[in-house]
Structures are given as C-alpha cells and as structure tokens.
Structure 1
Amino acid sequence: MKRRRGGRPAGNREVHAFGEASIAAGRDVINSPTYVGEIHLHGVAAAGLVDVQYVAMELARMVQAQWEEEARLRLLYNRRPIPVRWELRASLSDHPATIDRAAVRGTGTEALPPLEWEASSGDIDELARRFRDTQRRRLVIVGDAGSGKTTLAVQLLLKLLQTRTPDEPVPVLLPIASWDTARFPTLHGWVEDQLPRAYPALRSARFAHALHALAAGGRIMPVLDGLDELPAAARADVVTALNRSLGEGDQLILTSRTPEFAQAVDATRDVVNSAAALEARPLLPAMAADYLQSCVRHPDPGWQQVLDQLRTVGQPSRNETSGQIAALAAITATPLGVWLLRTVYTDPAADPTELTDSCPADHLRTRLLNAIVPAAIAAHPPANRARQYFRRRRSPDPDEPFRPRRRRNPADTERYLAYLAHLLTHDRNSDGTPRTLDMAWWQLAQPAEGSVRTLSRWVGILTSVIATAMLAVPTAMISRASSAILGGLVFGITTGIGAGAAVRSWSQSEPGHLRQTLRGDLPGLIRAIVKAAVESFWALLVVGCVLISLGVRPISVVVGLLGVALVTHGAVAGFVRWAEEPASTDRPSGPPEHLRADRKLNLLRIVAFGAGYGLVAVAGVTYFRSLGEGLLIGVVMALGAAIGQGLLGGAHRAWLAYAAMVARLSRERVLPRDLMPFLDDMHRLGLLRAVGPLYQFRHAELQDHFAATFRSRR
C-alpha cells in the first residue's frame, strides 16, 4: 500500500494584531486579523471592524456551548464514561515518520520503531495531550457499529476547546455525509459552506471574507463524523479529496466504521495523510459489569447475580457460567449494548435475571431494542410545567434537560419513530447503506411532495382571486370598469400561476434566521431599504406602463401611486431583508431554535407586507375618497401583499412546507401534530442526538431497527 511521507512538522502560528501576513503550507495564508463588517456576538457590538481572531474566539464559544449541552444529555458528565479502550491500527495509519514527532528526530539510517498509541475513553486528558503531540494533529477514529466513535470525538472536541490557546484552530464537528465532492472539491470550500448552516450568526454576507479566512487559513479543525454513512464510491472520493486538500498546517479528526474506512483505503491505495488510526477494542465483561454496577447504585440480588456472572466470563474455572450468559457478554462488548442494558434494566420493575437465559446474542439485542422506547419513557417522567416555571425563576432544575415536555404513548412513539427511520433509510443507496442519517426538519417535506402540490393548486387559485381584486377594484374607481376587470384578470391569472409554481418549490427551501434583536445597525437597515427600492423600481415602472395603456388617467395619479408603492415596498422589503441576517446568538442553536427562527421570519414577512401595504392603502384611499372605500381596498391590498410577498416572496419558506407536511401526515397518523416538540422529547429521552440543526438517531443500529419495524407493520 502506498504511504505518503510527511515533511517538517507544522509549527504554531502567530496571530499578529496589526495585519502582518505569514506563509504556511507552501502558500500564502493570511493569519492576521481580517476586518469585516459589524458583528454582534455574545452581546458584543463592535461597530465597524472586527478581526478574524475575534470571530474564531466567538465560534469556539458557540461550539463549546453547543456540545457541552449535548454532552450533558448524553450523560458524559453525570457518570464516568464507559471505559472503551483504543489501540493504533497500523494498517490504516500513515507512516510513523509523518505522525510521531519523536520519529522525525531519529537519524536517517536507524530503523524507526513501530508507532504505539493506546487510549481510553476514561482518560481524555491524556488522549488530548497525545493528539497535540503528533506532528500535524490528524486522527482517524474507527471501530464497529456502536463502539463509541462519535462519543470519543465529542469528548476530544470538548477537551481541545476547554484547553485551547488563541493560536490553535477551532474544532467543529460536522456530519460528513453532506459533503458532495463534485460540488465542493476541497475540504476548505465545503467547511466554508457548512459553517453558516450550523451557526447562523455567521450567515451574514458581511462575514463571508472572515469565513473564508477561517476555513482556508487553517483556523478550523474539522471533526468529520460518519464516513461510513456515505456510499462506497463517495467514501473513496472523500479520502482522495482530503489528501488533496490538506496542507501542512491543517488539522483533522475523522470517524468511520472500520470495514468502510478500510475499503476506502483499498480503493484509493492511500490512507489519510499524516493521520493515525485508533480502533475501538471490545469491552471486557468485567469492565462492563463494573460500569453497570456504578449505574445501579444499590443493586438487588438479581442484579448482583447477573453482574457477578458477567465478571466470570472468560475465566477458565467458570466455563459453565460463561456459557449461560455468552449472549450478554457479546452485547456488553460495545457501548451501545451497555447503554441498552442500562436504559432497559435499571427500571426497578425490570427483571435482570432473564438476561442469563440461554439465547443468541441477536435475539437478546432485538429484545432490548424492542424495549428501549417504553423503558426510556418510564425512566423520564415529564416536567411539571408550573413547578418548572417557578423553579426557573429561582434556580434552574438540573434534571430539566432530561425531562420530556409531555408524557408520550409508547405505541404511538414507536410508530412515529418507525416512519421517520423509514424516511431516512429508503430508498437505500446502491451499496445498501441507508439514504441518510441526518434528520433535517426542513427536508422531511420532500417525500411528502403530494401535500405540497395540493397546497400549490389552492394557493394558486386563491392568489388569482385576490390579485385580480387587488388590481381591478382600485383601478375601477379611476377608470372604466371593463378595462379594470380585464387588467385584473390578466394580472390575477399570471400571478396565480406563478404562485402555484413558487409553492411547489417550498419543499426544497432551507430555513432562514431572524435577528434576535432589532435594535442597532441603523446604517445597515438604510442600505437594505435603498437596495430594495432600487430593485423594485423597474417592476413598478412596468406596472405603471400597463395602467396607462389601460386608460388610467390622469398620469399624475399613476405616478403618485407608483411613488407610494415604491416607498412602501422599499421600506417593508428592506426591513425584512435586513431582519433576515442573524446578528447575534447567545446560546446553542438546535433544531427547535432553527424551526422557531424560520417561523418567526415567515410570520414577520407576512405581517410586515400585509400591514405595510394595507395601512398605506387605507390612508391614501380614505384621504382621496372615503373611509369605507379605504377599508375595502386596504383589506384587498393587505391580503394581496401578505400572499404575494409574505408567502411567496423571500428566500426562506421551509416552515411553510414543514407545516403543510405535518398537517397531512398527522392525519395519516404516521407523525404527531407537534412534530418538533416530539423530536425534542426524543432528544431528551436519549433516543435522538442533535448535531447542530440536525437530529440523528442515537445509533445507526437504532435507525435500522425502527426502519425494519416500519416495513414489518405495512
């Protein structure tokens, strides 16, 4: 197998405060502060210029807050972590001279000793120290399904953030399954695209240069999770793209199942440059028993009997006992199996002695997976909302993040999870792998496009009627009724067809974000209003020509109406566009926050356009005609603007497609009406995990189990 040999070790980078440039990786990389537009992060408003180092510091704060919250939900802080052992997999690692600093210091004639690296999930401090001591700080974490690869990556990410120095890059965990190497040939380009999706505070166009400097300048250490989730051909392409993209100073952590990564290495005939591969070792039965006993603080005689028998597995003097619980020992060889046992059998009502029954390991695993939902619901009673409110005012409840919002029915919960797993799994990729593991709420409407198409027809008809009235009613007051009706019909039918086409694209829309504060940044608001007015000038000019050709007189009235429309549209559209750029974030932004932000943005757009156009129409018509006519035209204009611009305008309409999808599928009883609160409860119960704006099943095996359950019920 071909192995690339590294060059000199990468030294620490200096960050110069006054714009000096340094050269690294054989190319010019600007490490000095790059100044961008105004940024509002963590309550800090630095009007004018902010440097890239400050943006990196704030990004590190956001990443750390996000994953510390997720670590608490995964119980990584409540108990000592499951002591998974990790050993170097030499066949999947690069040459020792490209990994170990000590190897480089040897002479050119002496033989290099084999690289040794052992680690434990229970000693992350030592793992972080050993990782920092490697030449280029690149690590591949491999293991079997459920062996704790993602958990180790999260533990290492948090430790690196907690001990990070200003000259070190910011570790950011990103699901690698979304990397399309045809669209983004380099790692830096893909990371630059993913950062604003995961952290909305970076979405502003003013920060584009800062994002490029962060990604291309080695200021981000990607923690790429789940190479095995990609099809086989895509996995090989990713490994090739990584080796093509990584410069001398670029750091990296990658996770994958062992067979899939080995296949990618064989396909490319290369490993990841300068990266060591750590592989999970099976948990010893005695270690699993010690961990389970720490979870069951006062085990009853039945539990104690099971734990004692588990500790004897592998001892020559107790072969008969080991044979009775061989299946249990196989289950506890992975953290997934230990988690299943802990969740299902720590319930006082459960009988752990049945674990010693003679049965194949697959049967025992299936039995545990079937029992996981009722056990998780029983172990986490819902929070008392009244008590939660008053306690929050005094002091936070430490158990509140683990309590669901409401008690869920186990049968309904299993049915909903089975449907979601089916959506994510099918249609499978060509090599049999699940379609995706990422549960993006704004993409759930794509398989239910039938409901969106039905909605598009009704919206098209309604828009045609309102648009016809919107133009015909005011025109009839100052022109011939026949011309007004004809012009209104042409305008209405055209607008209705466009509205229907626009609704059909809702399922492809991505979520937007609303400013958490509407104060400050007056110059930015003025620029947005002026830009919107200039963009709408030509469209209004065409409308004016149409009105004049229909005989609307006097021309001065037409010009006045268009002027009012120009000012109104510019003010409202500019305000909405300005509000779409996130300016601050003080807490992690998970899927519920993403949904609420997109919903607020859509409602703001609807209300702003409807109220803006309606009030202006009422005031204008009342001044020239009468209050009754003003109210009539105001209502028509408000409805037209709310539908035409509020529903159909703008770039973000994911919540609208999501709402249409939930309304339809809840009637079919495959999803709940409160889908996002349901997903949040599953996250609190430990059945799902959150990765930025995405949900995933806690383990891929859990997704496979629920997907198979859905097929068996059909």
Structure 2
Amino acid sequence: MTLRWWRRGGRDVRVVQNVINDGVFHGPVVQANSLSVRWEYNRSRRWTEDLASLVQGAEQDAWHRLLGRDTERIDLTYQRVATPGREADNAEDAGRLLAKGIHTYYTALSPRRLVVTGDAGAGKTMIALELLLDLIGKRGPDDPVPVLLPMVDWDPSVPLATHLVERLRRVYGWPRRKGRWLVERGLVLPVLDGLDEMDEPLRDGRPNPAAARARAALEALNDHRVGTRMGPLVLTCRHDPYLALAGGPDRDDRRRRLLDAAHVRVDPVKAPDALAYLTRRATDQARWRPLLDHLGTRPNSPVSRLLSTPWRLCLVATVYRASGNPADVVRARSAKRLDRLLLARYVPATVEQSKSSRHDADAAHRWLHVLAGYLGPADGSATRSVIEPAELWREGSNAAVQFNRIAMVLLGTMFGPPLMWILPFHETPRQLYVPIAIGLMYGLAMAMVNMELPFDVRPRTLRHLAPWRRPLRFLAVVGLGAGIGFAVGGSFGWRWGVFVTCSALVPVFLANQFTSPGDVLTARQLLRGDLLTTAVACLVFAVGFAAVASREFDTHDAVLAAVVLTVFDYFAFFGGPSLRYLYFLYTHRETVPLRLVAFLEWAADVGLLRRTGAGYQFRHDELRRWLAAHPEAPAGGQVRAR
C-alpha cells in the first residue's frame, strides 16, 4: 500500500510507504491518515483548478486587448543578461516568443525565478501574460496558479503573502480563507509587473537609484520562500531602472537585485519582424505601401528604429487600421513627434473602429483625462494602477475624505429622527424624547464605524442566500429568526415579535452576503449586487419597524415612517460600495459621466482600457500620461508630423 502525503508549506506530492514496527502493522492509523491526507489533497486540486479557470478567463481577455483585439503577435526575442553569482540554473542564452516559447525557458530554470527587463513599450507585460497563460494551459494538478500583480499597488511593508491573499479577494472574489490556504502551500505563483513604477524617477527623467519602495520590494521578494527553497516568481521592470538598483548606494544584495533568478532582456523588434507584423495587420495594402516599403528597404532608418517596440507597432496598426495615411509615420523622425502623432489619434481611431455611437471621441477623451489624473500625474509615475469605481470616493486629501465620510452619515440622519416629531402620536411625545436621542447617538456611532467595514468584506450578493444554492444555511437563518420571533411574540405581542425577528434577520442576512461569488465580479455586478442586497436588508428592517410603530402611530403613518427610515438605514448603517460610488458621482457630476461604470465598460470593450477584476487599467502607462497631460483632445485628432 502507498499513502499520498501533501507536505505543508510546499506543493510536492510524495509517496510514503507503509511501515511495520516490530512486526506489528498499524493499518487503522495509516488508513485514517490516508483518508485525511487524500481529502486535503483533493481539496487543493479542486481549489487550484477553480482559481486557474478564473485567472485564465480574466487574463485571456487582457491579452486579446493588448494585441489590439487581433490575433496577430510579434515574434519577440530576448537575451540572457549575465549575473555575477546567485543566478538560476539552466538559463539559456536566448529565446524567441513564438518559436520555443517563454514557457519552455521558464520551466527549465531552477529555481523558477525570472526577471524580464526591457525598454519602455518593449513587450515586458506581453511576455508576462504569455507566460502566465501558458503556465495555466500546461499546468499539472500539483503546479501553482500564476497570478498577475501590478507592483505599483503593493506596499512592501505588507508581507507578500498577505498582498497575494488580498489580490485574490479583490480581483477574483476569492475568499481569504481559501487564498491563505493556497498561498501558505506555495500554490500561487506571483507574476509581478512593473518594479520600475513603484518610485518616481529623478527630475531629469533618469531612474532614481535610491528607489526606496523598489528596494524594499526586492528585499521582500528575496525573502519569499516555499518550504525550504526560494519561492518561484516572475518580475518585470524597465532595464535602466533595474540596473540603477543594482548600482545604487545600497550594498545589501537582497535590496539590489533578485537573487537566484535568471535575467533576460527583451530585444528591440527588428525591422523584418515589424514589417511582417504590420503586413499581416494591414488589410488595405495600397494605403499602407509607403510605410511597408520604407521598413523593407531601409531597416536601419530612424523610423525603423522608432518602430522597434510592440507598443508603437500596436499603436500604428490601430490608428491606421481603417483610415488615415500611414505615410505620416515616415515623416515623424523623433520619438516625441511619433508618440504625439499616434497618441493624439488613438482615442478617435479606437472609437471610430468600434462603430459605437454611445460616446463620441471628444467626450471620451475628457472623461479619460479625469480618470488618468486620478491614477497619477502626467509627469510622474502612477500612484495606483487600477480604477476601482467603489474606491473613487477616496480621491482627495485625507481631510476631504474624512469630511466626506461625516457628510454621508449626516445626510442619512436628515431623514429619520425629525420624522418622529412630525407624525401624530397616540401618547405624549415627551415620553419618547430620551429613547429617540439615545437611538440617534447610537446610530451615528455605528454609522461612523460602518464606514470602514465594506472595504474589509467580500462583495455582497443575493445569489448566495438563494435556498437552492445553500439550503441548510437558508433554513438555519429562517429557523433562527422564526424561533426568536415566536419566543418574543408570545411574551410581548406579535408586533414586537415581528420587529425582533426582522432585526435579528438583518445581521445574519448581511453576514451571509460576505460570501464571495464563484466568478470574477465586474464593477457593475459588484455595485448592483451591493445595492440590491442593501435595499433588501433595509426593507427587512423597515417591516419590523412598521410593525412595532403601528402601536404608537396610525397604520399609514407607521408605513410612512418605515419607508423614510429605510432611506436613513441605507445612508447610516448598511450603505457599502454602492453608496460611496453614488457619492463620487454626485461630487464629480461635472467632470465624469453620470453612468460612469457603463462608460468604463464601453471603454474596455473598445480597447481604451482593460478589465482587472472589478477595476480597470489603461492599456499602457504612456497612454495614461498623454491623457493626463491633455484635458482636451486635439482638433479632429489631427497632429502634424514635423
């Protein structure tokens, strides 16, 4: 007999032979251990398969949009950069993306730690995505699941394991308990994108050799372990900032570079490869002929060297896909002029090719300018990478955020308590002054505490309280509420029974909504689910209040009070991400569209943004900087290439 044993802290599956001690075979003990270990092993396989499916679905969409909603790829090449000591074994000297593949290169490494560097727009993120999708597509049952993490979102003072768990929760709706279980066993492989984006460059544009956040991140990555071995990971960074870190004043190697890792640099795209790519993308060969002939006959010209990055090649293919004169590119003989030409036309061309009349290019440019400025300044690195509608309300100074929090709570208090003095009472109102005052103060205190709660819980959705999804949980909630109601009703009357039942149901009801869905929530699903769940919870509480209030008010007055207090409950007690989103729309109604999430979805569909869980990212930081620096679109999207 054999026993499969899952080693805690690692991901290796080992075969352990049964033993015989002094001629006595401990069958029952081994059998019990076997069942326990087999159950844990099967659970880990099931969870990793589910997570891999979620990641694959989300990142395939991002990969497709990075290609300009096309299937043609550029055959990138990369070269190994020699490292003085502490380099991963089995690193080959060179490779091609479409030939042997980055997957083969990476899986041969020991340990599997890889740094991918290159110039701006060289295709580092594309290689990381290609590797991520290949690892998922070819993964074995015991292999870890690769997960993409933008480095700009990571505070290195937070342990990498904790950041991984939170990333799984926020982007893929993965429960913390499951995420922690997988991370502790090394079943999540971090693919970290953009080490250079963690710190601002120097004023002259050169990389900052101090780069405190990047150095702290390298130290944390060098402390990353799976069991007794260095933890596998993939890291991308621009080449010059990575070299600046290695040559900076810090003498601790753990803060200078990634140890026990292979380092490859993405080569510039050669003119024949650029020509082959644009030829495959060009549907009107006659219109494209001047640019294609230039690349074919003058491979070493300034224009050919400018078109040596996948980002610019994708821009050219997108901007001139349906209209325009690609010969304009030949006349742009500097990087600044070429980028100005292409980026100015990118939004109009993308909107035109989408054949969608929902938003015009000028309005889209203005709104994207506001969102680009939210992520970071035009002349510096982004302070965050993802636009999360539920988090936009935090924009501004700390004082403004605190003021906004208090304003939202006070807005709720405007609806409820004054009503108590307006409606006619069956008995002297003075008898209720003290309880009303105490209740108001308690409500304000609880509301202030509740302001922070929705950011620490999982998305709320009614789907997970459906009887056919979790019948035992549903019966437990209903049974508990009914039991409490009958007990109270038998002693104090049916009104108090209904009130206590509904009041007891609300906390249990909300607690059940903190169960994560089994798929990746979009921003629209998250906000709608939260709004619907909150509305139902408030109505349940209102029913209980109407029942007990009918003892002091007329029936129609009690119902009116219950409806008004439902609004109060939403603002003061139960309002979550949906409330903060509505507040942001109100305060920024002149600068963003009223249906902001619908606009973000549209922008992702046409290719201006890409989805990442319940948030959105610009396709490239160069596009974000251009939009942040230009409040208005150039007239007609036309810029002369001089």
Same-fold status (TM-score > 0.5) = yes
SS in 1 for 2:393: coil
Change (3 A) 1:684 1:121: farther
CA contact (8 A) 1:688 1:698 kept: yes
CA contact (8 A) 1:22 1:30 kept: no
Q: Equivalent residue for 2:117?
A: 142
Deviations 1:520-559 (A, max 9, x none): 323334666799999x99xxxxxx9xxxxxxxxxx975x8
CA distance in 1, matches of 2:2, 2:430: 70
1:679 to partner: Cα distance: 1.4
SS in 2 for 1:649: helix
1:452 to partner: Cα distance: 8.7
Unaligned stretches of 5+ in structure 1?
A: 1-15, 37-45, 101-114, 316-321, 383-405, 538-543, 545-554
CA contact (8 A) 1:147 1:334 kept: yes
1:278 to partner: Cα distance: 1.4
Matches within 5 A, 1:509-520: 512-517=459-464, 518=466, 519-520=468-469
SS in 1 for 2:359: coil
Deviations 1:196-226 (A, max 9, x none): 22221x22x6xx1x43231011111111112
Q: Equivalent residue for 2:289?
A: 304
Q: Equivalent residue for 2:366?
A: 415
Matches within 5 A, 1:314-393: 314=299, 322=301, 326=302, 328-348=303-323, 350-357=324-331, 359-382=333-356
SS in 2 for 1:82: coil
Q: Is structure 2 residue 580 aligned with structure 1 residue 657?
A: yes
Q: Equivalent residue for 1:386?
A: none
Of 515, 528, 533, which residue of structure 2 is paired with 1:599? 528
Q: Is structure 2 residue 44 aligned with structure 1 residue 68?
A: no
CA contact (8 A) 2:72 2:281 kept: no
Deviations 1:676-711 (A, max 9, x none): 121122212222122333311111111111112139
Q: Equivalent residue for 1:251?
A: 232
Change (3 A) 1:609 1:418: closer
CA distance in 2, matches of 1:25, 1:511: 28
1:130 to partner: Cα distance: 2.3
Change (3 A) 1:426 1:89: same
1:60 to partner: Cα distance: 0.9
1:464 to partner: Cα distance: 4.9
CA contact (8 A) 2:96 2:102 kept: yes
Equivalent residue letter for 1:672: P
SS in 2 for 1:565: helix
Of 193, 198, 213, which residue of structure 2 is paired with 1:234? 213
Equivalent residue letter for 1:513: R
Q: Equivalent residue for 1:463?
A: 413
Of 456, 465, 470, which residue of structure 2 is paired with 1:521? 470
CA distance in 2, matches of 1:272, 1:615: 60
1:263 to partner: Cα distance: 2.9
Q: How big is the alpha-carbon RMSD for the aligned residues of Structure 1 and Structure 2? A: 4.0
SS in 2 for 1:603: helix
Of 686, 695, 698, which residue of structure 1 is paired with 2:616? 695
Q: What's the TM-score once normalised by structure 2's chain length?
A: 0.81
SS in 2 for 1:438: coil
SS in 2 for 1:181: coil
CA distance in 1, matches of 2:418, 2:482: 24
Of 91, 99, 102, which residue of structure 1 is paired with 2:89? 99
CA distance in 1, matches of 2:213, 2:237: 13
Change (3 A) 1:661 1:77: closer
1:244 to partner: Cα distance: 1.0
Of 507, 515, 522, which residue of structure 2 is paired with 1:573? 507
CA distance in 1, matches of 2:408, 2:215: 46
CA distance in 2, matches of 1:675, 1:17: 58
1:269 to partner: Cα distance: 2.5
Of 197, 204, 212, which residue of structure 1 is paired with 2:170? 197
1:152 to partner: Cα distance: 0.9
CA contact (8 A) 1:529 1:574 kept: no
Q: Equivalent residue for 1:182?
A: 157
CA distance in 2, matches of 1:49, 1:473: 63
Equivalent residue letter for 1:312: T
Equivalent residue letter for 2:78: W
1:135 to partner: Cα distance: 1.5
Alignment: residue pair count = 592
Q: Equivalent residue for 2:81?
A: 89
Of 207, 219, 222, which residue of structure 1 is paired with 2:190? 222
CA distance in 2, matches of 1:66, 1:313: 40
1:99 to partner: Cα distance: 2.0
Change (3 A) 1:532 1:373: farther
CA distance in 2, matches of 1:30, 1:621: 68
Change (3 A) 1:689 1:27: closer
CA distance in 2, matches of 1:565, 1:528: 16
Q: Equivalent residue for 1:630?
A: 555
Which shows bigger deviation, 224-233 or 570-579? 570-579
Matches within 5 A, 1:532-681: 557=492, 563-585=497-519, 588-589=520-521, 593-610=522-539, 612-619=540-547, 629-644=554-569, 646-650=570-574, 653-666=576-589, 668=590, 670-681=591-602
Equivalent residue letter for 2:560: V
SS in 2 for 1:168: coil
CA distance in 2, matches of 1:687, 1:89: 34
Unaligned stretches of 5+ in structure 2?
A: 17-32, 200-210, 635-642
Q: Equivalent residue for 2:5?
A: 20
CA contact (8 A) 1:140 1:276 kept: yes
Change (3 A) 1:702 1:461: closer
CA distance in 1, matches of 2:476, 2:560: 30
CA distance in 2, matches of 1:168, 1:683: 31
1:500 to partner: Cα distance: 7.3
CA distance in 1, matches of 2:421, 2:158: 44
1:309 to partner: Cα distance: 1.4
Q: Is structure 2 residue 152 aligned with structure 1 residue 168?
A: no
Q: Is structure 2 residue 261 aligned with structure 1 residue 285?
A: no
Q: Equivalent residue for 1:158?
A: 133
Q: Is structure 2 residue 394 aligned with structure 1 residue 443?
A: no
Q: Equivalent residue for 1:117?
A: 93
1:571 to partner: Cα distance: 1.6
Of 220, 238, 253, which residue of structure 2 is paired with 1:269? 253
CA contact (8 A) 2:115 2:263 kept: yes
CA contact (8 A) 1:171 1:223 kept: yes
Equivalent residue letter for 2:579: L
CA distance in 2, matches of 1:308, 1:53: 53
1:76 to partner: Cα distance: 7.7
1:482 to partner: Cα distance: 1.8
Q: What's the TM-score once normalised by structure 1's chain length?
A: 0.74
Change (3 A) 1:583 1:710: closer
